[in-house]
């Protein structure tokens, strides 16, 4: 499970033009523009943000603030992660353009964090922590799967719900030859995310998990219906009964004819 921890929270009202020299980040920093226009260089790439936009700067990224359009009001929150193991939210070589989130849905979460910073009671730190977790999960939702760590994407949906969704896809398309890209598209996720999900839930890749679903259906059809081996193979989209029989034997340890319902 994702575990963020506050490092720094800074609401900033910039009234005079300024530049923050090039520096390398040790933690994640999420910048959210409350009002105005913000410019920076992110790993050498120019970035411009308007009101409501956000930028995620990852550990190891190089960042230079070019605060020349004032007045400017923005919020920066730095956080570290205890999980995944190396503390990184993003994959090893993300597309930098995908770390910019236009019209990010973070205003409410930032307002909650800001409010709790001025509460004197002893519960406030726990509420701030809950607000940070809410913010980071909304960040995960807003970022494309393509830039996220695959194991993080796999943890973002409960295992039971996700397994049901993937199983439902398999059952609805048993008679088709779905490739992994098509499966991912139908599930509204990246190929990498689907592969991570299937490895976590089924212990194998999407193609093998789909084949296993087909062959489980085949076994039930042969035992419980009058369909012939060739009819089952054809229904499940196998190129020929020979290919079907080989795959069936590898999974079930015997030929499909051995499971055939006697006439």
Q: What is residue 97's predicted lDDT score, i.e. its pLDDT?
A: 87
For residues 61-68, average pLDDT: 96
Q: Strand, helix or coil at 20? A: strand
Phi, psi of 77 (to 5 degrees): -125, 125
Distance from C-alpha of 228 to C-alpha of 236, rounded to nearest angstrom: 12
Residue 134 and residue 163 in one domain: no
Q: How confident is the model at residue 156 (pLDDT cuts 50, 70, 90)?
A: low
Is pLDDT at 64 greater than 90 in this prediction? yes
Residue 141 and residue 215 in one domain: no
- What CATH number corresponds to the domain at position 243? 1.10.10.60
Residue 203 and residue 100 in one domain: no
Distance from C-alpha of 113 to C-alpha of 25, rounded to nearest angstrom: 22
For residues 121-137, average pLDDT: 88
Is pLDDT at 2 greater than 80 in this prediction? no
53 versus 98: the higher-pLDDT residue is 53
Is the peptide bond prior to 229 cis by the omega test (within 30 degrees of 0)? Answer: no
Q: Strand, helix or coil at 184? A: helix
Per DSSP, 154 falls in state H
49 versus 2: the higher-pLDDT residue is 49
List CB contacts of 205: < 8 A, sequence separation 6 or more: 180, 195, 198, 199
Final residue in a domain of this structure, among 118, 149, 180:
149
Q: What is residue 137's predicted lDDT score, i.e. its pLDDT?
A: 85
Tell me the pLDDT tens digit for each residue of 66-118. 999 999 999 999 999 876 556 788 887 778 888 999 999 999 899 989 888 88
pTM over 0.85: no
Q: How confident is the model at residue 125 (pLDDT cuts 50, 70, 90)?
A: confident
Give the pair of three-digit tokens for residue 139.
């960040």
Residue 96 and residue 22 in one domain: yes
Distance from C-alpha of 257 to C-alpha of 62, rounded to nearest angstrom: 63
Distance from C-alpha of 9 to C-alpha of 214, rounded to nearest angstrom: 52
Final residue in a domain of this structure, among 125, 149, 173:
149
Q: How confident is the model at residue 152 (pLDDT cuts 50, 70, 90)?
A: low
Query: Is the CB of residue 192 less than 8 Å from the CB of residue 146?
Result: yes
Helices and strands in the chain: count of H runs, count of E runs = 9, 9
How many domains in the chain? 2
Residue 27 and residue 45 in one domain: yes
Residue 161 and residue 179 in one domain: yes
Final residue in a domain of this structure, among 149, 168, 195:
149
- Find tokens 């956080």 and name the residue: 79
Distance from C-alpha of 227 to C-alpha of 118, rounded to nearest angstrom: 71
Instruction: Count other C-beta atoms under 10 Å from residue 207's C-beta.
Output: 14
Query: Is the CB of residue 214 less than 8 Å from the CB of residue 250?
Result: no
Q: How confident is the model at residue 161 (pLDDT cuts 50, 70, 90)?
A: confident
Residue 98 and residue 138 in one domain: yes
Tell me the pLDDT tens digit for each residue of 9-23. 999 999 999 999 999
Q: How confident is the model at residue 261 (pLDDT cuts 50, 70, 90)?
A: low
Q: In which order are the strands placed within the sheet that holds 72-81?
A: 4-14, 72-81, 28-35, 54-57, 100-101
- What CATH number corresponds to the domain at position 117? 2.60.120.280
Instruction: Count other C-beta atoms under 10 Å from residue 217's C-beta.
Output: 17
Q: What is residue 85's predicted lDDT score, i.e. its pLDDT?
A: 52
Q: What is residue 20's predicted lDDT score, i.e. its pLDDT?
A: 95
Residue 27 and residue 131 in one domain: yes
Angle between helices 191-202 and 206-224 (to 10 degrees): 50
For residues 233-259, average pLDDT: 92
Give the pair of three-digit tokens for residue 73.
């009001």
Is pLDDT at 189 greater than 90 in this prediction? no
Q: Strand, helix or coil at 48? A: strand
Residue 129 and residue 10 in one domain: yes
Is pLDDT at 159 greater than 70 in this prediction? no
Q: What is residue 249's predicted lDDT score, i.e. its pLDDT?
A: 94
Q: What is residue 178's predicted lDDT score, i.e. its pLDDT?
A: 93
Residue 103 and residue 233 in one domain: no
For residues 211-218, average pLDDT: 95
Structural domain boundaries, residue 251: 157-259
Distance from C-alpha of 241 to C-alpha of 215, rounded to nearest angstrom: 13
Residue 19 and residue 96 in one domain: yes
Residue 175 and residue 140 in one domain: no
Distance from C-alpha of 60 to C-alpha of 88, rounded to nearest angstrom: 10
């Amino acid at each position: 499970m994702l575990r963020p921890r506050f490092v720094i929270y800074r609401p900033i009202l910039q009234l005079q033009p300024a530049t923050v020299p090039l520096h390398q980040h040790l933690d994640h920093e999420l910048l959210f523009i409350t009002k105005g226009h913000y410019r920076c260089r992110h790993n050498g790439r120019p970035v411009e943000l308007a009101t409501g936009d956000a930028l995620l700067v990852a550990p190891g990224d190089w960042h230079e603030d070019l605060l020349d359009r004032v007045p400017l009001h923005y919020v920066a929150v730095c956080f570290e992660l205890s999980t995944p193991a190396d503390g990184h939210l993003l994959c090893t070589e993300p597309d930098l353009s995908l770390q910019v989130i236009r019209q990010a849905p973070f205003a409410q979460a930032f307002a909650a964090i800001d409010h709790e910073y001025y509460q004197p009671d002893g519960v406030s730190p726990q509420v701030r922590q809950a607000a940070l977790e809410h913010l980071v999960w909304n960040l995960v939702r807003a970022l494309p799967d393509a830039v996220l760590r695959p194991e993080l994407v796999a943890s973002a949906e409960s295992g039971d719900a996700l397994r049901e969704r993937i199983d439902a896809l398999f059952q609805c398309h048993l008679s088709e030859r779905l490739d992994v890209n098509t499966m991912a598209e139908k599930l509204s996720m990246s190929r990498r995310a689907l592969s991570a999900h299937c490895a976590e839930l089924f212990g194998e890749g999407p193609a093998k998990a789909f084949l296993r679903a087909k062959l489980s259906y085949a076994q039930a059809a042969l035992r419980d219906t009058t369909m012939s081996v060739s009819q089952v193979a054809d229904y499940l989209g196998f190129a020929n009964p020979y290919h079907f029989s080989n795959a069936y034997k590898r999974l079930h340890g015997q030929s499909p004819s051995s499971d055939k319902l006697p006439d």
